């Protein structure tokens, strides 16, 4: 058992391997236990003990800092030094009993792994092949042991000392996750990326109601028990916006705390266009999984509004006695198409929301009420019958004479009613199927 003297404090080091033991290169986790600096209570100066226990916080919680690294040979030494040097300050300022640093080399082709091995007080985990930013973080989380999980990029853009503010903000708000907000006047983030982040934040807010300024921040702290609830998460750079969207959708408490953000060391791995599209897709996909109607309802409404607007001219012409001119067939075909799309979006959105509620075990909502299923059935049958009634003279004329002299507008109107009626009848049947699925009932 070794004791390492750090400044005026005495720390205990737990190691099952010599201090200079190197990490393995076969991609597996090292056998030596994570190096956690634990404070011996008897060696805490009185002032430090009071400061660390500010607000009644006991010195029993630990923090794991995970650093994903891919071809960061120019920055890895600096970020590891800063993280290791920050341990004492983090323990003092955030009231922690230990801080561990885990670096994951994600299949680097430069000297990142070689340089990381020299820092024996940090735990090195190696991916033989590049698996992606998100995969590296998940590997680091599994290899860590802290009560709080945190991460920051290896490029030197974030200051590890900022973790203290994030942890304190997390505790004060009794939140599940604290995100480092990088978008402020002193930030050195490139303008294009700052604009993109603001747009993603606006999108997330409009879909979930959660106020965020930085959905893709690569510096955050959260409770370990939250990790299991977040899976699955993507393996690429869109890991962070996916995490933010999932936390926002699942109802966990998410807060932001401003952090300093500097210009990165070396070349960025982020592609503004390719990764920007991935960010957009993962935010929409995550929100859709939890709240499908928030995606489908606006689409359905847009279709119905456009269809109604386009139908005004032919309807006014018909009611005014002028008749419907032949060239309006294209407009009415567009009205039919938009109306059918609106009906389909509505039906699929309701079904998806019902399935999401069942999968996530949410309390019963208005979608589960029998009245919804019955209304869909009645509306569907009424539309279907209306379509048959409208087109019945046309059918009779064609069967008896082999010709159709009736205006084509009636055919389109009847077809629209039958198609939409079929959609709503199918919706009612599908919603009814959920009632027959096995589910737990309170005793």
SS (H, E, C) the chain: CEEEEECCEEEEECCCCCCCCCCCCCCCCCCCCCCCEEECHHHCCHHHHHHHCHHHCCCCCEEEEEEEECCCCCCHHHHHHHHHHCHHHHHHHHCCCEEEEEEEEECCCCCHHHHHHCCCCCEEEEECCCCCHHHHHHHHHHHCCCCEEEECCCCCCECHHHHHHHHHHHHHHCCCEEEEECCCCCCCCCHHHHHHHHHHHHHHHHHHCCCCCCCCCCCEEEEHHHHHHHCCCCCCCCHHHHHHHHHHHHCCCEEEEECCECCCCCCCCCCHHHHHHHHHHHHHHHHHHHCCHHHHHHHHHHHHHHHHHHHHHHHHHHHCCCCCCHHHHHHHHHHHHHHHHHHHHHHHHHHHHHHHHHHHCCCCCHHHCHHHHHHHHHHHHHHHHHHHHHHHHHHHHHHHHCCCCCCHHHHHHHHHHHHHHHHHHHHHHHHHHHCCCCCCCCC
pTM: 0.71
**Segment among 46-50, 129-133, 361-365 with least mean pLDDT:** 46-50
Looking at residue 195, its pLDDT comes to 84
Mean pLDDT of 188-202: 79
**Segment among 45-54, 180-189, 201-210, 290-299 with least mean pLDDT:** 45-54
Looking at residue 439, its pLDDT comes to 59
428/363: higher pLDDT? 428
Looking at residue 441, its pLDDT comes to 56
55/404: higher pLDDT? 404
Q: Is the pLDDT of residue 153 over 80?
A: yes
User: Residue 194: pLDDT band by 50, 70, 90 thresholds?
Assistant: confident
Looking at residue 404, its pLDDT comes to 85
149/319: higher pLDDT? 149
Read off the pLDDT of residues 390-424 as tens digits, 9 standing for 90 and up: 989 888 988 998 888 887 888 888 999 999 999 99
Mean pLDDT of 5-22: 36
Mean pLDDT of 258-266: 76
- Per the prediction, the chain carries an average pLDDT of 81
Mean pLDDT of 23-32: 39
Looking at residue 90, its pLDDT comes to 94
Looking at residue 14, its pLDDT comes to 37
Mean pLDDT of 340-358: 92
435/164: higher pLDDT? 164
């Amino acid at each position: 058992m070794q004791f390492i003297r750090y400044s005026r404090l005495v720390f205990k080091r737990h190691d099952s391997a010599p201090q200079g033991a190197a990490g393995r290169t076969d991609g597996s986790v090292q056998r030596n236990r994570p190096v956690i600096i634990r404070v011996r209570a008897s060696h805490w100066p009185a002032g430090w003990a009071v400061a660390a226990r500010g607000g009644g916080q006991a010195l029993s919680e630990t923090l794991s800092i995970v650093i994903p690294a891919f071809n960061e040979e120019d920055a890895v030494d600096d970020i590891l030094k800063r993280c290791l040097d920050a341990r004492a300050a983090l323990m003092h300022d955030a009231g922690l009993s230990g801080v561990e640093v885990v670096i994951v080399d994600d299949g680097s082709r430069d000297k990142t792994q070689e340089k990381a091995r020299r820092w024996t007080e940090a735990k090195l985990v190696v991916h033989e092949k590049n698996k992606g930013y998100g995969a590296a973080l998940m590997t680091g989380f599994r290899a860590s042991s802290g009560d709080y999980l945190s991460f920051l990029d290896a490029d030197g853009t974030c200051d590890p000392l900022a973790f203290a503010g994030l942890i304190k903000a997390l505790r004060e708000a009794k939140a599940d996750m604290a995100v480092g907000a990088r978008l402020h006047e002193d930030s050195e983030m490139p303008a294009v990326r700052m604009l993109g982040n603001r747009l993603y934040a606006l999108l997330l807010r409009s879909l979930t109601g959660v106020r965020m300024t930085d959905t893709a921040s690569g510096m955050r702290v959260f409770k370990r028990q939250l990790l299991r609830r977040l899976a699955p998460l993507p393996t690429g750079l869109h890991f962070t916006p996916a995490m933010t969207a999932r936390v926002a959708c699942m109802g966990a408490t998410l807060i932001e705390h401003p952090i300093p953000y500097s210009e990165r060391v070396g070349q960025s791995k982020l592609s503004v266009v390719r990764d920007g599209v991935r960010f957009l897709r993962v935010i929409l996909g995550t929100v859709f999984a939890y709240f499908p109607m928030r995606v489908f309802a606006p689409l359905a409404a847009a279709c119905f509004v456009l269809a109604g607007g386009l139908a005004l001219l032919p309807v006014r012409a018909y009611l005014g006695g002028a008749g419907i001119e032949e060239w309006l067939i294209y407009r009415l075909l567009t009205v039919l198409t938009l109306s059918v799309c609106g009906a389909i979006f509505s039906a699929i959105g309701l079904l998806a929301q019902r399935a999401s509620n069942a999968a996530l075990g949410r309390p019963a909502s208005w979608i589960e009420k029998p009245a919804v299923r019955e209304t869909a059935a009645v509306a569907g049958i009424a539309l279907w019958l209306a379509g048959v009634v409208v087109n019945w003279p046309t059918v009779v004329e064609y069967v008896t004479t082999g010709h159709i002299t009736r205006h084509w507008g009636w055919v389109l109107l009847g077809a629209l009613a039958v198609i939409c009626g079929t959609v709503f009848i199918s919706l009612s049947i599908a919603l009814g199927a959920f009632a027959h699925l096995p589910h737990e009932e309170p005793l």
